[in-house]
Structure 1
Amino acid sequence: MKIGFSYRPAIHAKNLNELLPLVDYVEIMPDIMPDIMSSNEIYLIQDKLSGKEVGLHSLKTSLGSPEGIQQENDELYYLMGKFLKAKYYSDHVALSYIDNHYLTTVRPIAYDERNIRILSENLKSIMPHYQGNQYLIENITNHGMLDGSSLTEGEFFKQVLQKNSSVKMLLDLTNAYISAINVGISPREYLKQFPLEKVKTIHVSGYEYINNKIQDTHAVSINKTILQLLQFVLQRSSPEFVMLERNFNHDNADLVAELRLFRQCIK
């Protein structure tokens, strides 16, 4: 099992010499690096991350869109991943565009048979690029079941992955925890509904309450509850990658300490 963190150049670049020895891989988000393929930044990233494996995590494929995926964005992700020799590509089971207008964030879709068909067709349209179980789909935070949902989130993922056997799952553990709390289900029972045997990568982060609403902000330390839930999932899955998402509100010592704790936790 390989340990990593989510790399944001503006935050982490100056501390890489201290951070990289603590991890096996780094996850890149193309959408937070404007014009990366048309500048020298990608060469700098390739040089800085030399010797480390890379995963790609994206926001703008719009896998849940009935209009089809955003082809131009998907091609960018593919080309960037090829250049960096990415071990996986990932995006969210969500909408990020409606009528070709970017929504500025990912939005949930109803968990029903219609969206299983839509998601499956969209995945089939891009899979010729991605071989060897390289493409992963991620669960987002839900603040309650959407109108029209006839399945739980876990059941929805299970059926999608059954229909698309070359696709695997990126389980965002903190998103699942928050979703379970929001719909009033025990987080462990909520997670049991997912096809945990299909999980290739796990994202883990802290959470906080803002205006009495629980949120995954990537800005606080992981707490004991999430670490215990991680142990629960690891007993039921065999991920290749486990990643810390801590992108804001920290100094380098915070991140170093958290990565060390993280590695101890999953030994």
Structure 2
Amino acid sequence: MFAGLFFFLLAPVLLLISIDAGKRDAVLIGLRQSLRWGMLYPVQYGRRFYASSKADELLETMGWRKYITVPTLKMIRDVLCGLLLVYVLVAYYDEGLWRPLVVVAVVFLFLTPGPGPFSVLIAPLFQRFQRHRVNRDSSLLMQLLRNEMQSESEQSVTAIIREFRPYMQILQDDFVLLEHDWRRGKEEALDRFKRRHPGNEDIRFICSLFKKMDEVGYAACAQMLAQNEATINQRQMANYKSRQDDLNGFLFVVNVSGVMLALLWFVLALFMWVFDMDLGL
């Protein structure tokens, strides 16, 4: 089988060598263009076929949407699972196939953004991590809004978003989308902003503050901030404590895993030593 694959790959090379040197460049250019269009079509078709608004929202809540799109993730999943399936069929052809096929199915489910293991196990973990990253920006934004409420000249919400955007690290892209959606309607814009950060109370309070600022102005917003000052401080302290607890938990898991690996290595070494003693080596 491998010999047949080798000759199958070698045949085009031998064919190119047999062509005249004058025509070879034209043939290579034609092959390059054919390969280019042949690769672009599956990519473009995959983008349309794999597009999903719900999966896009899920990746946005995890902070992945900036780095990878849903079609790209699904195409990587299909290529990886296809390679694993070919390997399983070749390596375990004479043995039981059901266990390797279960592994391929599990990998496929874990890389599928949607209902299933991805949304139950992977998404909550990265959503929590994204929430910790956003807390720094939300705390800074609260302080900037407090200072803005003290100014005499009032600005529109979109002007405030443009002014505060350079100070944000994680929320910069969110502010671009928020400013773009605000022109269509503030309710829809704020709802999308909150959906991108589920379970984040600071973001919910900021959205209500933006809404109130657009409706009644700075005076009512300053009063709203003063009334919720203690709650905001308590929530920020709770976010800081939660971040520290998560970090300590992660370090504990790493330490326990290191200890377990060291114990496993010790047991294996002890077993091999006893085995060699029994053989009289």
The TM-score range, normalised by the shorter chain, is: under 0.3
TM-score by length of 1: 0.22
Q: Greater share of helix residues, 1 or 2?
A: 2
Look at both structures and tell me which one has the larger radius of gyration over its CA atoms. 2
TM-score by length of 2: 0.21
Q: Greater share of strand residues, 1 or 2?
A: 1
